[in-house]
Structure 1
């Protein structure tokens, strides 16, 4: 069941009133949705925003993502863009501490060839933010994988292309391992979980850092599940300025953001980070100090059942070496594409290069005209 809001013409109203400004953390769920609409006003393709009901369960349910003190229904915030009839479906999943609006530079180009659906994962963005009570990596994996599966059922989807970025790539890959029958093709953009270290729990450089007093303090902070979002909330009315500095510095690679893009993205990011803590608390169960995953995907390569394309920015801090190792063991088609002038957020840094990589990855699903250039790797992109 979905509650739809037609946002062909996005609202530009603001919720910044004196009562909200006087609160220590000037945000709310309404602020998130309004900020999303303002950011997506930059997108020309009409879209529908909906809250997709993924169900509810009693307190103490054994289903990981139901674990909460509340049994109210959960919703995943979803945007679906207009497309040509018969277009293949592309589902886009964001990374850690992000949300679907981060793809704002990509929706128009991708919607020209796909039925694009982007979601906020459970506990992030404009989706429900239930109490996060998972106590292990297995429970945490279930939180994201099972909630996504319930969303798929509610949307009556099958045979779709699944794209995930960073931590969203980790979730997408885990989902495709568990439910390969629904995924036609997997696109992993700078995914977490593919380390090339033989022992990802104790890489040499990380062991050295942990041996110092600074490393011990950092590791303690990590183990206590101190998230970046807690800093934003702790600063209260000074939080937006911190986020503004972050977005200005973080997105300074490749094609720079315009003044309007920077302003609207900053506003959107602030509200998604400052809202109630929920899925962000997965941090210590998914990652170890240093950014490596607790349950890496590399050993699962032999069990891969879905054709896969890896996409990395040339300056991405996520190395493509792990993907190269995984490809050796995969029994399905696998290719690795590197996009120049791009960092970890390749789809923001070099949107045109990113679109070319996606079109090339999905060429067998698209009715591209002869000579379009996507039969072989488009100029500028690099195979790894």
Structure 2
């Protein structure tokens, strides 16, 4: 069935047998619990949605949502399909955290959102320990996913780690990207250059202080995967996430009056680490990348328009965007700041965020 013309909500979500293993009872999680937790969130979706696994040539599976508007033209009145919007989440997240954006952004064009390889409900393969190889594993899986879906091109939007990977993808496969939208992209500044400039008082890319929970993670987990403590906490893990990520409960309190969102985050990340291992291989000090994207942003084609969206309260500074624009010279690079928003700008200011993304998409077609 063509997802662009479907009038029913389809849910082909049987778990691939090779995706999940056996989980010790010490950690109160499982594939089934994560599936149930996500289903409670996705039940809020109003538009037509097709949720299924996309199998890659490697036999790895990418959990994917495809949304179209209920008012979209049906087969007998089919209008030219607009360029689809593809959304790539950040570290430790999954498709459920796009809840406030999925319906609004799928009204005028097809929308695809997927769990990155190694995160959420997607397969959890072993990632290389080398930064370049880990990045290549992520980017190659995105390209294989695109090929499996038969997408010719896309508007590619990435948040945080997803922004880093989306940029890497656009450098390697520029013909597939009509507009690159980077939301709070991680891994852009060059740590050595930024620290040297800061010491001299001439810093180009300023980085605001990290939030306390992130500072604690950096101090405690310097030699471990970033979410190791959450898994080591066993039955106390869900409470730990609920306590330290109360902000997510607040962001969605008008939709859920319980721990739905923090439980989802816990179950996304309490599984055996995989994408997290890939991230650990690429990161330097949690907030920095070993291979800073600022060193490669000039490899984006001048013909590819780039929009960079930041929250004014985020620990990631918009000055990275301005530096990227300077490097790209006359190539279209828009940097926009959204007021009263933190790192998760799409959930802090969803109306403003959705309007800005819709405007960008409409500039494509």
Normalising by the smaller structure, the TM-score range is 0.7 to 0.9
Cα offset, 1:362, TM superposition = 2.2
Mapped pair 1:235 → 2:233: yes
User: Residues 290 and 148 (structure 1 numbering): CA distance in 2 closer, same or farther, change over 3 Å?
Assistant: closer
After TM superposition, list the pairs within 5 Å mapping 1:346-361 onto structure 2.
Answer: 346-361=345-360
Contact 2:159 2:185 (8 Å CA) reproduced: yes
Mapped pair 1:318 → 2:316: yes
TM-score, normalized by length of structure 1? 0.77
Mapped pair 1:282 → 2:278: yes
State the number of aligned residues: 325
Cα offset, 1:143, TM superposition = 1.1
After superposition, give the CA deviation of every residue in 1:224-252 in whole Å (9 maximum; x if it has no partner): 23322x22211222111112223323565
User: Residues 260 and 221 (structure 1 numbering): CA distance in 2 closer, same or farther, change over 3 Å?
Assistant: closer
Unaligned runs of 5+ in 1: 12-19, 57-72, 207-214, 367-384
User: 1:192 aligns to what?
Assistant: 186
User: 1:131 aligns to what?
Assistant: 126
Mapped pair 1:295 → 2:296: no
Mapped pair 1:74 → 2:60: yes
Moved more, 169-178 or 302-311: 302-311
SS across alignment from 1:106? helix
User: 1:87 aligns to what?
Assistant: 82
* 1-structure distance, mates of 2:114, 2:147: 14
TM-score, normalized by length of structure 2? 0.81
Contact 1:10 1:41 (8 Å CA) reproduced: no
* 2-structure distance, mates of 1:105, 1:180: 29
Give 2:268's match in structure 1, choosing from 262, 269, 272.
Answer: 272
User: Residues 128 and 197 (structure 1 numbering): CA distance in 2 closer, same or farther, change over 3 Å?
Assistant: closer
Moved more, 158-167 or 242-251: 242-251
After superposition, give the CA deviation of every residue in 1:324-358 in whole Å (9 maximum; x if it has no partner): 01112214211011111210000111100101111
SS across alignment from 2:284? coil
Mapped pair 1:25 → 2:27: yes
After superposition, the CA RMSD in angstroms is 2.9
Cα offset, 1:262, TM superposition = 5.4
User: Residues 337 and 277 (structure 1 numbering): CA distance in 2 closer, same or farther, change over 3 Å?
Assistant: same
User: Residues 319 and 264 (structure 1 numbering): CA distance in 2 closer, same or farther, change over 3 Å?
Assistant: same
